[in-house]
Amino acid sequence: MAQSKYLNSLEPWQDPKAQPYVSIKSLAKTFGGRVAVNEVSLSIYKGELFSLLGRSGCGKTTLLRMLAGFETPSSGKVFIDGMDMTDTPAYKRPVSMVFQSYALFPHMTVEQNIAFGLIQDGMSKSEIRDRVDAYLELVQMSGYERRKPDQLSGGERQRVALARSLVKQPKLVLLDEPLAALDKKLRERTQLELVNIQEKVGVTFIMVSHDQEEAMTMSSRIGLMNEGRILQVGAPTEIYEYPNSKYVANFIGSVNLFDGIIIEEEPDHVIVKSTSMEKNLYVSHSASVPVGAQISVAIRPEKVILTDSKPKGEYNWTSGVVKDIVYLGDVSIYHVKLRSGMIIFATVANLVRAAERPVQWEDEVFLYWKPENGIILTI
């Protein structure tokens, strides 16, 4: 996960004095009676790389297109840098868009593609040359000036498309799944390159993605969408460690969910009885719900510790039989079936080679986790 660039200063979204750069107010879009974007309100700050993340059809592209001015909102407002842009046509917004399909002109060279918008603006030839050179260097494509798009790899084409969108020095860059056409390895490398370029130019990026790993790697914050609504907004670690619902917990990474009832509720802990486990669950933080409430306790697989000896404590452990071991190189994911039938996932680092690992299929094992690793979810 990328380190926060705001390490030495207050993150703008936590600073009550900071003014949002992009302000989306109760924005909605309906297509023929079907709601695509449902009353979305969001504040995005200067220099952020903000990702709209969600499943196909959740409304993220429609929201991005309304920011670009390609789609007219059914209701609500869009402000950019304090200016109401809701009725401003796309070409008059200080916004540039990068598409999944690059949208480069095939008959033009790299240089001509990047210079296109500057020529239209009537910039002088020498200024254009300097600007194009600077942005080619920024995206590490110097030397490729004379090539046509079909003589470039997918990653190179996307870098040219990025240079073309940055060369006019927009205030805001909107990226619609910009890396989706690249293969996995190249995509991972390009993610970091894109973050580096964004940090160098300091422009605000809003990106649409359906790939949670990509959003986690690249973003300052993520807005997780479902059915036209934003379910949670937060930094990647915040969304991962403190999801606000079962939907979010399941969408970001994998999770073990124990449905249960609160049987003790104190300011510093709650105790939960779950039919999935013989032992009760102890979570060392308060829940804003009373005794008797139906809730779920979420435990991430990497927080589950697998052992062959019986844990000592009264809470947070169980036993089961190993039904599957998914070997992923650096880690293995153990699928352990409890007596209740529930399968628990436990991620174990492969510190020894596979042949030397003691736990195997059909072994009876114990699983436990620390009280601070449970998250109470009420929805």
**What is the binding site for ligand ATP (CB under 6 A)?**
31, 36, 54, 56-62, 210
Return the closest-CA partner of residue 99 out of 170, 33, 181: 181
Q: What is the dihedral of CA 208, 214, 216, 217, to 10 degrees?
A: -120
Taking CB atoms, the residue at the shortest distance from ligand ATP is: 61
- Nearest to ligand ATP of 36, 42 (CB atom): 36
Please report how close the Cβ of residue 35 comes to ligand ATP at its closest, in angstroms. 8
Return the closest-CA partner of residue 227 out of 255, 206, 247, 205: 247
- Nearest to ligand ATP of 12, 223 (CB atom): 223
- Nearest to ligand ATP of 99, 242 (CB atom): 99
Distances (CA, A) of 337 to 274, 324, 365: 15, 9, 10
Q: Which residues, other chains included, contact 144 with Cβ-Cβ below 8 Å and sequence gap of 6+?
A: 110, 136, 152, 156, 160
- Nearest to ligand ATP of 34, 353 (CB atom): 34
Please report how close the Cβ of residue 64 comes to ligand ATP at its closest, in angstroms. 8
CA separation for the pair 249, 257 (Å, rounded): 9
- Nearest to ligand ATP of 61, 165 (CB atom): 61
CA separation for the pair 63, 65 (Å, rounded): 5
Cα dihedral sign for 240, 246, 252, 255? positive
- Nearest to ligand ATP of 36, 283 (CB atom): 36
Cα dihedral sign for 239, 245, 248, 249? positive
Please report how close the Cβ of residue 50 comes to ligand ATP at its closest, in angstroms. 15
Q: Copy the structure tokens of residue 218.
A: 């690249």
CA separation for the pair 342, 151 (Å, rounded): 53
Please report how close the Cβ of residue 31 comes to ligand ATP at its closest, in angstroms. 3
Strands, DSSP E only, in 59-139? 75-80, 83-84, 95-98
- Nearest to ligand ATP of 57, 143 (CB atom): 57
Please report how close the Cβ of residue 53 comes to ligand ATP at its closest, in angstroms. 9
Q: Are strands 204-209 and 221-226 parallel, antiparallel or unpaired?
A: unpaired
Please report how close the Cβ of residue 95 comes to ligand ATP at its closest, in angstroms. 17
Distances (CA, A) of 293 to 250, 270, 298, 379: 21, 11, 16, 11
Please report how close the Cβ of residue 54 comes to ligand ATP at its closest, in angstroms. 6
- Nearest to ligand ATP of 71, 111 (CB atom): 71
Please report how close the Cβ of residue 62 comes to ligand ATP at its closest, in angstroms. 3
